[in-house]
Chain A
Amino acid sequence: MRMETDQLIRTLVADNAQRVLPVGIILLLALMAATPVSTAMLLLGLGVRPDVMLAMRNPFFDLKFVVTMALAISAATVSLHLSRPEASLQGWGWLLIAPIVVVSGGIVSEMMLPQRLPMLARLVGHNSLLCMSAIPVLSLPILAAAMIGLRHGAPARPAAAGAIAGLLSAGAAATLYASHCTDDSPLFVATWYTIAAGIVAGLGALIGKRVLRY
């Protein structure tokens, strides 16, 4: 069987009625399917911290959610943009600064308040190792969903798109994990959450390089 280019064109036209949903919708549906899986993993594996009702009155506890959600939302926006063939990070990369701005603001305001614990103790926290491993593990279902969604796109740079998808899933996973984590200091968040997000971003880049080519 041979196919001339004119014949191929005719075939593509015959297939024109076949519609694909926009990447954003598929990404959203996939993320909506994966988030309950990660939530169940958190609730069954770790649980929410016992003093959560009390903790909610601590602005630094609440700030963790602002930081992680800022990461998830900004990374979701950027990864959706990067799913287009002609897109580049230029002009969009600055969106990823949003969580950094929030956490920096948190660090500054914590510095200005009297603290019971010295800075280093707040930075090291109680359970940095769990934080660094739980966030990547919780992010896996969401990362898989993000890859499925973005595969419907046509990213010019699959590794970059994959890395941003990693940040998106790390942000979502960290939002879940923050409800378990008893370390509320922005210093802790800026250090260990960032390392965890970096791990997932690296993983996302590796996977994206393979599966996001079109």
Chain B
Amino acid sequence: MMRQAVAGDDETYHRLLRQVTPVLRAAARRGLARAGQPADQSEDIVQEILLAVHLKRHTWDVTAPFAPWLFAIARNKLIDALRRRGRRIFVNIDDFAETLADEPAAPKVSAAEVDAQLQTLPQRQRDVLQSIAVEASSIKQTAARFAMTEGAVRVALHRALSSLTAKLREQ
């Protein structure tokens, strides 16, 4: 399946990503639970893994089995995310007392970290992402809407995904 997907079969690629997502979600939940973290943060990790799988799909050797490659990326991203959370919790302890009194706990949303980093993308990239991801427009429709060439939309989209990944890694 992955062989067809990397060869450019978008429909197969879509099906593949949808099929692996529940597996990744379960793994992320297990990892969070084992680290004593709330499982409702799993969606951030799932999205980070999917982004890495997508951006690094050229490192999969078409003659090698797919599962070890996928799980190696998933494990890498999960460890990264847990390490980051460990550090962040430690940092938060300092200002906990001051914020506790007057600020209610932030409502839990599905992928809070990814959403937060989305806000920091350049306007144009965000427009393109909004159009394609949220409004389900095609590349063509998006190009017409923003008076861009299709090539420029593709580039903006790819940049948006790359810099989103970089921001999530460095946060």
Contacts and interface: CB of A to CB of B under 8 A. Distances in A.
Interface of A: 1-23, 83-86, 152-154, 156, 213-214
Given A9-B17, A16-B5, A154-B73, A84 B59 contact: yes
Contact of A214 (B52, B61, B129): B52
A7 B61 CA distance: 27
Given A5-B50, A9-B17, A85 B154 contact: no
Interface in B70-91: 71-73, 76, 80
Nearest to B44: A5
A191 to B, nearest CB: 38
Nearest to B129: A11
Given A3-B118, A18-B154, A13 B17 contact: yes
Interface SS of B by simple majority = helix
A18 B158 contact: yes
Interface in B108-130: 109-111, 114-115, 118-119, 126, 129-130
A79 B167 CA distance: 26
B69 interface: yes
Contacts, number: 121
Given A83-B59, A214-B76, 14 more contacts: A3-B47, A6-B18, A8-B114, A9-B18, A10-B132, A12-B161, A13-B13, A13-B17, A15-B157, A21-B58, A85-B73, A86-B64, A154-B52, A214-B56
B54 A12 contact: yes
Nearest to A154: B56
Q: Which of A6, A10, A214 has the most chain B CB atoms inside 10 A of its CB?
A: A214
Contacts of B114: 3, 8
| Interface size range of chain B in the complex | 35 or more
Interface string B147-165: 0000000100110010000
A28 to B, nearest CB: 15
Interface stretch (B32-40, B99-107, B133-141): B133-141
B59 A154 contact: yes
B169 interface: yes
B134 A1 contact: yes
Q: Which of A12, A153, A213 has the most chain B CB atoms inside 10 A of its CB?
A: A12
B59 A14 contact: no
Contacts of A152: 58
Contacts of A15: 54, 154, 157-158, 161
